[in-house]
Amino acid sequence: MSSITGTKEWAGKNINIQTGCEHECRYCYAKSMALRFSRVEACNWKTTIIDRKKVEKGYSKYKGTVMFPSTHDITPANVEECLVVLDKLLRSGNRVLIVSKPHLDCVKLLCQKLSDYKTQILFRFTIGSADDELLSYWEPMAPKFNERIASLEHAFTQGFQTSVSSEPMLDRHIDIVIDKARPFVTDAIWLGAANRLANIIPRNCPGDQEALRKAAELKQLIDTTYIHGLYARYKEDPIIKWKDTLKKVLGIPASEEPGLDQ
Ligand code: SF4
């Protein structure tokens, strides 16, 4: 079997109910794929369309963990529809990995409505930097750092299983994110590097020279030396896990099965 990369490291099955995403991340792989296959235009990605059929249909039990969502996020605009689908997935006995750049109000609602399914849910909140200026540049419409940490703390204190994805890391200060997040993490903090930016940025941000320059800078920041330094600091830390983008640099064998989450 070929090496497992991207979201397949975490889950064998992804479920989404929306085209487009309000968060408008410049590095968004889902947006770049939608553009590549002419499903949207670059300027339309933030104009979201919920697929009602996917909200209304039934969901059975899948083999392994189900990741929800992977090509959009859970936002105040779609949280009710997301809850309908999550409820169906959980009722069918699925274990669900809920991945989000979290809005605190949405996380409060999810925790309240899904409290009967705590043992089947693992939250994974994306936090690639503690610097709001950087977050605002790369993920312009997503919540800022303090709101993401507050969301993590809320899910943790409500008794849910929690984890963090620092992929992509957006600066060389990921230790700050690790230190702030660690008290509220029951599972893992995943570290990863931005991937395929040279292909994604020209497609997602056509004609944007500043984005191209910042992408080149980011690639230089999270270089082999920085990655090996991180590994030296955290290799014995049981809470830290390494995404495929770092495994490749570090010589760690890639997963051979989807959804092992390791
Ligand atoms: S939150 Fe995820 S799906 Fe939405 S724009 Fe950002 S990377 Fe893309």
Q: Where are the beta strands (DSSP E) in the chain?
A: 13-14, 18-19, 49-50, 66-68, 96-100, 121-126, 161-166, 189-191, 240-242
Report the atom number in ligand 1 closest to the C-alpha of 71: 3
pLDDT at 10: 94
Using the mean position of ligand 1's atoms as its centre, give its distance from the Cα of residue 74 in Å. Answer: 10
CATH 3.20.20 is held by the domain 6-250: yes
Residues 72 and 18: beta-carbon distance below 8 Å = yes
Q: Ligand 1 pocket: which residues have CB below 6 Å?
A: 21, 23-25, 28, 30-31, 71-73, 101, 139, 142
Identify the residue whose C-alpha is closest to ligand 1 atom 3. 72
pLDDT tens over the chain, length 262 residues: 467 888 889 999 999 999 999 999 999 999 999 999 988 887 799 999 999 999 999 999 999 999 999 999 999 999 999 999 999 999 999 999 999 999 999 999 999 999 999 999 999 999 999 999 999 999 999 999 999 999 999 999 999 999 999 999 999 999 999 999 999 999 999 999 999 999 999 999 999 999 999 999 999 999 999 999 999 999 999 999 999 999 999 999 888 788 777 7
Dig out the tokens for 232 from the structure: 């030296």
Handedness of CA 127, 142, 217, 249 (dihedral sign): positive
Q: Any idea where the domains of the chain sit in the sequence?
A: 6-250
Write down the pLDDT at residue 222. Answer: 97
CA distance 79 to 4: 30
Give every CB contact of residue 138 below 8 A, 6+ residues apart in sequence. Answer: 25, 26, 27, 128, 168, 170
Q: 138, 25 in Cβ contact below 8 A?
A: yes
How far is ligand 1, taken at its centre, from the CA of residue 53, in Å? 22
For atom 8 of ligand 1, the residue with the nearest CA is 28
pLDDT at 220: 96
Query: For residue 217, what pLDDT is reported?
Result: 96
Atom of ligand 1 nearest to the CA of 24: 5
